[in-house]
Structure 1
Amino acid sequence: MNEISIAYITNPNKKTAEKIAREILKKRLAACTNIFRVDSIYVWKEKIVKEKEYVIIAKTTKARELQEYVESIHPYEIPCVLNLKAEANEKFFKWVKSVVR
């Protein structure tokens, strides 16, 4: 089974998303990241809030370590760091495994 994790991490702005993505890659906690802008609507302190956010998608075999590290550097009071399991094709799996340490 070629199982990897896909981390989904929300960020307040592009600069923060890029900084966290680079830190994740420098520490070899992910092999690849993607960043995209989203409109988020959520409940915060009893109000419905709409914000522009930037999401990092990171491919990893070290989900727990990545999650703990992101939580330690993230500016949000309650950071969203989700890990989803995914089946990867053989070549991609081997590449991710060779990069992540």
Structure 2
Amino acid sequence: MKSESDDDVVLVLSNVPDAPLAERIAQVLVDGGLAACVHLGGPITSVYSWQGKLERTQEIPLVVKTTRARQEEVMQALAKLHPYEVPEVLVVSAQDGLDSYLDWVRRQTRVQWH
């Protein structure tokens, strides 16, 4: 089994309430070098229980491509920019992928020391 490395590519999954916020978060993450790419999905309906009530909400899904070295910063940025009290933020390891794509994600998110 391969051990985890800061260079590993991960996907950070989240949902936000609307497209303008999704665009803003994507821009902050990519412009800041925290993500190589953020996919913004079309509206979905989320069904969940919150404070004892069944809720239905339209949301925009986000899939953030980054590295393990940047995942904590991505999670902090999402928590700061997100309006929900408890936003969905899940990290999924990219077990495999096209080497050239994984290398591109690593280059785009490499920590630059100034």
1:27 equivalent in structure 2: 32
Percent identity reads 29
**Deviations, residues 1-52 of structure 1 (Å, cap 9, x unaligned):** 7831011111011111111111111111110111112110000111001111
Amino acid corresponding to residue 81 of structure 2 in structure 1: I
- Which segments of structure 1 move beyond 6 Å, counting only runs of 4 or more? none
Higher strand fraction: Structure 1 or Structure 2?
1
- Using the size of structure 2 for normalisation, the TM-score is 0.82
Is residue 2:67 matched to residue 1:84? no
Amino acid corresponding to residue 66 of structure 1 in structure 2: V
Secondary structure of residue in 2 paired with 1:79: coil
2:71 equivalent in structure 1: 63
Is residue 2:3 matched to residue 1:5? no
Secondary structure of residue in 2 paired with 1:55: strand
CA distance in 1 between counterparts of 2:49 and 2:75 reads 23
- Using the size of structure 1 for normalisation, the TM-score is 0.92
2:19 equivalent in structure 1: 14
Q: Which runs of 5+ in 2 are unaligned?
A: none
2:48 equivalent in structure 1: 42
Q: Which runs of 5+ in 1 are unaligned?
A: none
Amino acid corresponding to residue 100 of structure 2 in structure 1: K
